[in-house]
Amino acid sequence: MTESYTPPKVWTWDKESGGRWASLNRPVAGATHDKDLPVGAHPFQLYSMGTPNGVKVTVMFEELLAAGHDAEYDAWLIRIGDGDQFGSGFVEVNPNSKIPALVDRSGDTPVRVFESGAILMHLAEKFGAFLGQSEDRAQLLSWLFWQMGSAPYLGGGFGHFYAYAPYPMEYPINRFAMETKRQLDVLNRHLAGRDWMVGDDITIADIAICPWYGRMVKGEAYDADEFLSVHEYEHVIAWADRFYARPAVQRGVMVNRTFGPPEMQLWERHDASDFDTKTQDKLAAK
């Protein structure tokens, strides 16, 4: 990037630009190859990866199961670095080619749901769970949509330019660092004196927001905790500690995870016993 750069009158695609994800980025939608999606035995078929957006849904499923709901699911790994999200079967479920994608086969006709916030709402309404009190519904929806609109500045904005761009660029890093810190301050002020985002118990607002912002303040995103001085957001840290202390959350963050300690990686989840027998450390020991 130079100060003398002038955008052309008509933008054209440079396949070589784009940093770490350049090989997967393109200006058109649709499938790049034919590949059917697998289907397991359970009512819910999830196609995902253990990124923050994927973790939202696996945490939701594990919380539903822990609360006694009939929410058994198969979680199939979609390796976005390999382009699995551009297979024809996946594109049929999610034409936007982003994880997570869900097929609800619990009824007579399969229901396809994409966008993590939509999946959380679909499951919460289906089971009547994690929606808080009726009088809190407007606040719950407000925070859910806040996350869906705000997190791209954190991930696609700050995270991209700080960690994945071809080289450091001062202006976009400063721009998105400022916005990330502003968003953390929004949360910190809201969570002062509160245990959860809305009401007195965990809801889909917490399940949507914490995998992004809780992960950030716990020093697990982009190696940027010192750069962003995340220790300043004490109420967000306390909230994240409460969230990640929940057994169902601890299980959910393991599903479709392909990084970190092998004992934390459960690439696919098809039964509750998989947490005890099919993490990568267990499979490597066989």
Give the residue numbers spanning the domain of 155: 134-247
Predicted local confidence at residue 44, as pLDDT: 98
Tell me if 175 is assigned to some domain.
yes
Predicted local confidence at residue 270, as pLDDT: 98
b/e code 23-42 from CB counts within 10 Å (16+ = b): eeeeeeeebeeeeebeebeb
d(CA 151, CA 147): 6
d(CA 129, CA 224): 34
Residues of the chain under the 50 pLDDT cut: none
pLDDT tens, position by position, 147-168: 999 999 999 999 999 999 989 9
Tell me if 55 is assigned to some domain.
no
Predicted local confidence at residue 18, as pLDDT: 64
Q: To which residue do tokens 């009158």 refer? A: 9
The Cβ of residue 54 has, within 10 Å, a number of other Cβ atoms equal to 28
Burial grade of 164 (CB within 10 A; 0-12, 13-18, 19 or more): middle
Structural domain count, the chain: 1
d(CA 91, CA 89): 6
Q: Which two tokens stand for residue 192?
A: 């002062």
Tell me if 197 is assigned to some domain.
yes
Tell me if 154 is assigned to some domain.
yes
Q: Which two tokens stand for residue 77?
A: 């790994």
pTM of the model: 0.95
Tell me if 215 is assigned to some domain.
yes
Predicted local confidence at residue 26, as pLDDT: 87
Q: The domain spanning residue 171 has which CATH number? A: 1.20.1050.10
Q: Which two tokens stand for residue 146?
A: 């806040």
Handedness of CA 41, 46, 51, 52 (dihedral sign): negative
Question: Is the separation of the CB atoms in 144 and 120 below 8 Å?
Answer: yes
